[in-house]
C-alpha cells in the first residue's frame, strides 16, 4: 500500500507563502492550510483520502516530501501557529493571507487548533495545541 501523499509528479506553481528554495525537479506541492476550503477544490466529483497525523509525524512527513522534490507552501496567517510548526522543523515562510486554489498533484496538510477560541486571537500556541491531517485528492 502506498504512503498517503505519494502522488503522480506534477509541476509546482508558486504561491503565497512559498518556500524560497524550490527543488530543481519539483514533483508537486505540499500545501499547509488551517482549514480545508471545499470551494478551493475543482467542482467535480472526487474522493478525498484524509489521514490524521500527529504534529511531529507531520514534520517528518513534510521533510520526506521536501527531500523527494516537493515544493512547500502555506496559507496560514496566524503567526503563533507558524512559530509552533517551525519549532517542529517545518520550514514555513512568513504569514500568508493568500487564498488557496487546488492544483493537480497537491498534497494538503491541514493544521488546526485543538480547541479554537472564537473571537479571540490566541498569541501563544504550542505543538500540543495543534492537530493535523494529510489530505490527498484521489
C-alpha cell, 62? 513534510
Give the model's pLDDT for residue 65. 96
Name which residue leads in pLDDT, 122 or 98: 98
Give the model's pLDDT for residue 121. 67
Q: Which residue has the cell 475543482?
A: 42
pTM of the model: 0.79
Q: Is the pLDDT of residue 115 over 70?
A: yes
Q: What is the 3-state secondary structure (H, E, C) of 13-36?
A: CCCCCCCCCCCCCCCCEEEEECCC
Q: In the predicted model, what is the mean pLDDT of residues 2-9?
A: 39
Residues in Cβ contact with 131 at an 8 Å cutoff, skipping those fewer than 6 apart:
52, 55, 111, 112, 113, 114
Q: Categorize the per-residue pLDDT at 117 as very low, low, confident or very high, splitting at 50, 70 and 90.
A: confident
Percent of the chain topping pLDDT 90:
68
- For residue 5, the Cα-to-chain-centroid distance in whole angstroms is 11
Give the model's pLDDT for residue 124. 86
Q: What is the DSSP letter of 40?
A: G
C-alpha cell, 138? 484521489
For 21-76, the pLDDT digits (tens) are 444 456 899 999 999 999 999 989 999 999 999 999 999 999 999 999 999 999 99
Amino acid at each position: 500500500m502506498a504512503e498517503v501523499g505519494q502522488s503522480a509528479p506534477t509541476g509546482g506553481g508558486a504561491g503565497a507563502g512559498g518556500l524560497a528554495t524550490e527543488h530543481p525537479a519539483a514533483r508537486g506541492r505540499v500545501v499547509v492550510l488551517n482549514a480545508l476550503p471545499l470551494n478551493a477544490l475543482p467542482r467535480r466529483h472526487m474522493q478525498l483520502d484524509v489521514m490524521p497525523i500527529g504534529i511531529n509525524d507531520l514534520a517528518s512527513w513534510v521533510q520526506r516530501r521536501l527531500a523527494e522534490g516537493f515544493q512547500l507552501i502555506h496559507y496560514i496567517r496566524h503567526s503563533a501557529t507558524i512559530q509552533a510548526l517551525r519549532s517542529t522543523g517545518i520550514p514555513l515562510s512568513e504569514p500568508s493571507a493568500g487564498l488557496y486554489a487546488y492544483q493537480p498533484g497537491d498534497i494538503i496538510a491541514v493544521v488546526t487548533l485543538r480547541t479554537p477560541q472564537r473571537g479571540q486571537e490566541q498569541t501563544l500556541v504550542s505543538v500540543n495545541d495543534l492537530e493535523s491531517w494529510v489530505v490527498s485528492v484521489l
